[in-house]
Structure 1
Amino acid sequence: MAKLSGFIFAVASLSIPAFASQACTSIYNLTVPGAEVLNITSVLQSNVSTPAFPPGPTEGGLSFCDVTVVLTHPGENDTVTTEVWLPLTGWNGRFQATGGGGFLSGIGPAELGPAIVQGYAAASTDGGNIGLGIGINPAAFTSDGPLPGIMADYIYRSVHDMAVIGKAVTASYYGKAPNYSYWNGCSTGGRQGLQAAQAYPDDFDGIMAACPAINLAEALIAIEWPYIVMNNDKTAPSQCVFNAFLNASIAQCDELDGVKDGLISNVTGCAFDPYQLVGTQVLCDGTNVTISEAVATVYRKILDGPKSPSGDSLWPGLYVGVRTDDLYPGDAHTVTTNGTTVAVPFPVGDEWVTYFLERNSSFDTHSITYADVPELFAESVSSYGNDSSNNPNLSPFQKAGGKLIVWHGLSDNLLPPAGTLRYRQKVEELLGGTDAVNDFWRLFFVPGVSHCGGGYGPVPTDALAAVVAWVENGTAPDTLPAEYVNYSGATVNHDICKYPLVSRYDGKGDPKVASSYTCAESFEPAS
């Protein structure tokens, strides 16, 4: 390895053009306002394979310049690492910053690989490592809670630094600045994108923010709520029993949108009553299980969301039609072993209570009572409400010419979609109503889809492409193309309509074809 001015450069023994090597190893003069750059490492990579996120086909045979920048913010005692991948050939002239999940600020290769395959220069950040995997990093916490510098990195600062670094490294490598810069993320990544629009409106020309974990202080109590319910009611339904409620709700509400397709599109119009299943039997692992009133009560409370003991709603719950046994176990996760079922908390909600609110790594979340919930909710909002990425004033982003697409699965099993709707409504109240906000932000609610994908509904196939078309060509999307494989194994194409419109079946076409649907103001079937 060569060393120059305190920076380390490594060049792998690869069969690649000399100019690529020279361009990669010349990236060393970098300034990040408000931060001190500690180290820059540049490595030429060849024939690399990466996973994809959400899980999908592996990206293989990748060659790129891999630049890692380590920095700190003076006085903050933090260390933040940003990685930038630069395709050796076929750069599309764009920069893409990618997001994280849970307490992880960036997912790294699983998102960088797909981005450079499409020709983007792409970046990911560890956000100072408040998280390890999806859960927290205990080293980032003291008895007073999260270290202030690391909390700032996680909420807002590391994304801005990544934008500065990514654009500068891209310009250094290719000899010109990117023509356009984009954000692409889901869950925490969705929150980070909206936070960037709120705090740094000039960082990105376009933002794709799916299933955003905004309203952080409120939403994380909502994530913990099903675990609290099952513990307090001493009733944990098996996933098989949960599926009985799912199937019954689909049977009742599937055709509210005018077509029988196995989806609940009209979730707010679905008056499903879980108590109607009391006394019925469901076959689970070869045994007939009778659904009790206690089980129906648990299901009702999960849909209702966190409440005070007096019944006051604190935050919305999950929508009817949620799939609890999805690829990513959600809020209402249970595990059955030898006939005994226990509730399993989702780590993000559980660790939020343990480390952020109780500030005690030994705290037993199993002991939380219904009476404790309002106090926990109030503490969460009081301590972290300003860190919840839900500032409705998007006017600076609008004035900067930025474009934003948000989609959220109506069957999200982690983050209540109603939280995203509440945020949208606040933005509309502030900025002049639905049409005014639609000029720069299009929102899409997707039936049957779980958190960031999965579930049993049509997942948007390339929402970022819609952002790019809007930014670069002025093509504002009225629909998002989406696709899934239904229960019979058939591929279904379905366009998702922009909020507040809904998809309405034309009454005669093939329900598996997108052209059989139109966007309408209500779910009333076509005459």
Structure 2
Amino acid sequence: MKAKILLGLGASLVGLVGLGAVLASCARAETGLQGRAKAEFADRCTSLKGRQLGGATIEKAKFVTRNSMLLPVPLLNSPEFCRVTARIAPVQGSQITVELWLPSRWNQKLVGLGGAGFEGALSITNILMRRPVSDGYAAVATDAGHDVDKLPKWALGHPEKIVDFGYRANHLGAVIGKAVVAEFYGAPAKRAYFWGCSNGGRDALMLAQRYPQDFDAIAVGAPANNFTARMAAFSQTRLDFNGDAGKGLSSKLELLNAAAIATCDGLDGVTDGLIERPDACQFDPAQLQCKSGDSKSCLTRAEVALARSVYRGTIGRDGKQIMSGFPVGSELGWKPPKPDQNMGTSFYRYMVFNNADWSPDTFMLDRDLATARKKLSHVVDATDPDLSPFLGRGGKLLMYHGWDDPAIPLGDTLAYYEAVRKTVGAQNAKNAQLFLLPGVEHCGQGKGPDEFDFFAQLDRWTQSGSAPERFTVTKHDNRVAFYAQLPTKALRTRPACAWPKAAHYKGAGSIDDANNFECR
């Protein structure tokens, strides 16, 4: 599950390394500044170096021309911009790196990007910043207060770095971003938007809860906002799958998934391999139970029981749910990773117990979750449903989650959304919308349409004042190429419908065309 929780782009981004030759022949033909204007922009950019802005020191400021190579993922650049690196040390034990891309043709708006896994967004800025900066947005991201590491060893003995990761880095990124933008362009940003998915979704909700003035609209994808519970659930799932039943079920997940889809696929009026509303599906894995013995084409009694427990969720000794179960249709991602690749193991080793030798085999759900909550809930959990300060000032919250997500259960996002609407009152609740995407895994991927322009939706909503009830989501033939701004083919489109509505086929026309579906 770790690769999936990193962003949804995670494993796919590795494929970008082999795209160099293709990228060289497919660079976008885009009009940038010319002659004296370009020279003046470049001079204004480099003159930022050494300045103190927003409490940070500008360490680097470089003019980046179109079609230059960007690293660490080798991609040709399409927008023309000023690339700024700043550092700030707000307290002893903390040092945060902030990066900004300032386009030559600015639309007077700023966007911020959330992180992934235990990281900030700096390692993939040249993927995630390309599109918004090409559209004229200034963009800001942070390293979440630490260097990139396969494991969060940076947290050992460094509580302030955990605070940076928890909430401080992105807030200071917003403060610094606004200060640099105002100085560079000679005017403040008229609007500021933020987007993040997975841990970036937690980042996004943390900003809405703690710093309601930082951004005007926020897009939240599959948020890991109940972080301590999610890490405990990861650890418990590892133990659950460590026995014979888990090993057996892990080899039969395709069988289980196929049966689930066969049972529930047609509920939206069309058989297309997607379960539109898994919550309306009556599927019991017992229908696959072996009549006698065991085989690859059936589930043992113990495997059926384990599958039911995954659907049910993580439950404490008191019978209360700690983490929602995974919906029908998400089965292909249930197999947990190896201990050293399990985010739960890393969380307890490096953040909770401060012991790199802690063994995940000693994990006890109720005891260790209580320890984690006592020590870190106030730092890393973003579960406060009272978004009145943010929504009440006109802030917009657009949440989305894939039904087939095998990393963060959609049920927790739905529960949080309903809690927000109940807490903030009817008037403020109009500024929050939730969209659930069928067939979509963690932050994308899967069979379902998984791409839409987050910032365009936020901007349209903010400018018009009308909450989106429906927008089109697309499935591309190459998701990596889509983010790299290379030509792609749209395989399927589908309307995303504001909860509790869902897309239903009208009965005629291509099932791969969103126009042939209605929200009801």
Task: Give the TM-score, by structure 1 length.
Answer: 0.81
Hey, what's the Cα distance between the residues in 2 that align with 1:485 and 1:64?
27
The count of corresponding residues between Structure 1 and Structure 2 is 468
Instruction: Give, as a single letter, the amino acid of the residue that structure 1 aligns with 2:314.
Output: P
367 and 505 in structure 1: CA distance in 2 versus 1, 3 angstrom threshold: same
How far 1:418 moved relative to its partner?
A: 1.0
15 and 101 in structure 1: CA distance in 2 versus 1, 3 angstrom threshold: farther
Instruction: Give, as a single letter, the amino acid of the residue that structure 2 aligns with 1:347.
Output: N
Q: Would the aligned equivalents of 2:249 and 2:303 in 1 still touch at CA under 8 Å?
A: no
What is the aligned partner in structure 2 of residue 417 from structure 1?
410
Hey, what's the Cα distance between the residues in 2 that align with 1:358 and 1:206?
36
Hey, what's the Cα distance between the residues in 1 that align with 2:76 and 2:257?
35
Structure 1: gaps of 5 or more residues: 1-13, 282-286, 326-330, 335-342, 521-527
Task: Give the TM-score, by structure 2 length.
Answer: 0.83
Hey, what's the Cα distance between the residues in 2 that align with 1:429 and 1:477?
20
What is the aligned partner in structure 2 of residue 126 from structure 1?
143
User: What do residues 285-340 of structure 1 show as CA deviations (whole Å, max 9, x unaligned)?
Assistant: xx956543333333222222222367553221211111535xxxxx5236xxxxxx
What is the aligned partner in structure 2 of residue 352 from structure 1?
347
User: What do residues 36-94 of structure 1 show as CA deviations (whole Å, max 9, x unaligned)?
Assistant: x35532122233345899xxx955344321111111013x3211100111123x22221
What is the aligned partner in structure 2 of residue 395 from structure 1?
388
How far 1:403 moved relative to its partner?
A: 1.1
2:118 counterpart (92, 99, 103): 103
How far 1:278 moved relative to its partner?
A: 2.5
Structure 2: gaps of 5 or more residues: 1-34, 478-488
Hey, what's the Cα distance between the residues in 2 that align with 1:280 and 1:321?
24
Q: After alignment, is 303-312 or 398-407 more displaced?
A: 303-312
What is the aligned partner in structure 2 of residue 441 from structure 1?
432
Q: Would the aligned equivalents of 1:50 and 1:110 in 2 still touch at CA under 8 Å?
A: no
How far 1:367 moved relative to its partner?
A: 4.2
What is the aligned partner in structure 2 of residue 501 from structure 1?
501
How far 1:430 moved relative to its partner?
A: 1.2
How far 1:459 moved relative to its partner?
A: 1.2
What is the aligned partner in structure 2 of residue 4 from structure 1?
none
User: What do residues 445-484 of structure 1 show as CA deviations (whole Å, max 9, x unaligned)?
Assistant: 1111111100111214213211110112324210131122
Paired residue secondary structure (2:223): coil
1:45 counterpart (28, 46, 64): 64
Paired residue secondary structure (1:459): coil
Does residue 427 of structure 2 align to residue 427 of structure 1? Answer: no
How far 1:356 moved relative to its partner?
A: 2.6
280 and 179 in structure 1: CA distance in 2 versus 1, 3 angstrom threshold: farther
Q: Which has the higher contact order (CA 8 A, sep 6+)?
A: 2
What is the aligned partner in structure 2 of residue 525 from structure 1?
none
Q: Would the aligned equivalents of 1:323 and 1:450 in 2 still touch at CA under 8 Å?
A: no
Instruction: Give, as a single letter, the amino acid of the residue that structure 2 aligns with 1:496.
Output: A
Q: After alignment, is 254-263 or 489-498 more displaced?
A: 489-498
How far 1:391 moved relative to its partner?
A: 1.2
Q: Would the aligned equivalents of 1:222 and 1:317 in 2 still touch at CA under 8 Å?
A: no
What is the aligned partner in structure 1 of residue 367 from structure 2?
375
Does residue 515 of structure 2 align to residue 515 of structure 1? Answer: yes
What is the aligned partner in structure 2 of residue 22 from structure 1?
43
How far 1:240 moved relative to its partner?
A: 5.2
Paired residue secondary structure (2:128): helix
61 and 478 in structure 1: CA distance in 2 versus 1, 3 angstrom threshold: closer
What is the aligned partner in structure 2 of residue 302 from structure 1?
310
Hey, what's the Cα distance between the residues in 1 that align with 2:227 and 2:211?
19
215 and 310 in structure 1: CA distance in 2 versus 1, 3 angstrom threshold: closer
Hey, what's the Cα distance between the residues in 1 that align with 2:386 and 2:251?
44
Does residue 106 of structure 2 align to residue 91 of structure 1? Answer: yes
Instruction: Give, as a single letter, the amino acid of the residue that structure 2 aligns with 1:511.
Output: I
1:458 counterpart (449, 457, 460): 449
Paired residue secondary structure (2:106): coil
Instruction: Give, as a single letter, the amino acid of the residue that structure 2 aligns with 1:43.
Output: K
Instruction: Give, as a single letter, the amino acid of the residue that structure 1 aligns with 2:360.
Output: T
Paired residue secondary structure (2:273): coil
Does residue 477 of structure 2 align to residue 477 of structure 1? Answer: no
Does residue 190 of structure 2 align to residue 191 of structure 1? Answer: no
Instruction: Give, as a single letter, the amino acid of the residue that structure 2 aligns with 1:429.
Output: K
Would you tell me which structure has more helix in proportion to its own residues?
2
Hey, what's the Cα distance between the residues in 2 that align with 1:260 and 1:236?
31
Q: Would the aligned equivalents of 1:30 and 1:168 in 2 still touch at CA under 8 Å?
A: no
Instruction: Give, as a single letter, the amino acid of the residue that structure 1 aligns with 2:307.
Output: Y
Hey, what's the Cα distance between the residues in 2 that align with 1:118 and 1:112?
10
User: What do residues 198-249 of structure 1 show as CA deviations (whole Å, max 9, x unaligned)?
Assistant: 1111111111111111111112222333212111556324765211111110
310 and 473 in structure 1: CA distance in 2 versus 1, 3 angstrom threshold: closer
Give the superposed CA RMSD. 2.9
Hey, what's the Cα distance between the residues in 2 that align with 1:250 and 1:499?
22
Q: Would the aligned equivalents of 2:311 and 2:327 in 1 still touch at CA under 8 Å?
A: yes
How far 1:509 moved relative to its partner?
A: 4.4
Would you tell me which structure has more strand in proportion to its own residues?
1
300 and 353 in structure 1: CA distance in 2 versus 1, 3 angstrom threshold: farther
What is the aligned partner in structure 1 of residue 264 from structure 2?
253
Instruction: Give, as a single letter, the amino acid of the residue that structure 2 aligns with 1:406.
Output: M
Hey, what's the Cα distance between the residues in 2 that align with 1:323 and 1:48?
42
% identical aligned pairs: 30
Instruction: Give, as a single letter, the amino acid of the residue that structure 2 aligns with 1:275.
Output: A
Hey, what's the Cα distance between the residues in 2 that align with 1:320 and 1:464?
30
Paired residue secondary structure (2:325): coil
Hey, what's the Cα distance between the residues in 2 that align with 1:30 and 1:440?
36
Residue pairs, 1:261-276, within 5 angstroms: 261-276=272-287
214 and 40 in structure 1: CA distance in 2 versus 1, 3 angstrom threshold: same
Q: Would the aligned equivalents of 1:427 and 1:437 in 2 still touch at CA under 8 Å?
A: no
Hey, what's the Cα distance between the residues in 1 that align with 2:436 and 2:291?
33
161 and 504 in structure 1: CA distance in 2 versus 1, 3 angstrom threshold: same
Does residue 236 of structure 2 align to residue 221 of structure 1? Answer: no
1:70 counterpart (87, 91, 102): 87
344 and 276 in structure 1: CA distance in 2 versus 1, 3 angstrom threshold: farther
Q: Would the aligned equivalents of 2:345 and 2:360 in 1 still touch at CA under 8 Å?
A: yes
Paired residue secondary structure (1:194): helix
Hey, what's the Cα distance between the residues in 1 that align with 2:432 and 2:461?
10
What is the aligned partner in structure 1 of residue 223 from structure 2?
212
175 and 310 in structure 1: CA distance in 2 versus 1, 3 angstrom threshold: closer
Q: After alignment, is 437-446 or 96-105 more displaced?
A: 437-446
What is the aligned partner in structure 1 of residue 301 from structure 2?
293
421 and 353 in structure 1: CA distance in 2 versus 1, 3 angstrom threshold: same
Q: Would the aligned equivalents of 2:103 and 2:138 in 1 still touch at CA under 8 Å?
A: yes
Hey, what's the Cα distance between the residues in 2 that align with 1:475 and 1:511?
28
Paired residue secondary structure (1:101): coil
Q: Would the aligned equivalents of 1:254 and 1:263 in 2 still touch at CA under 8 Å?
A: yes
Q: After alignment, is 295-304 or 449-458 more displaced?
A: 295-304
User: What do residues 110-152 of structure 1 show as CA deviations (whole Å, max 9, x unaligned)?
Assistant: 22233312221111101211x634641x13312xxxx232122
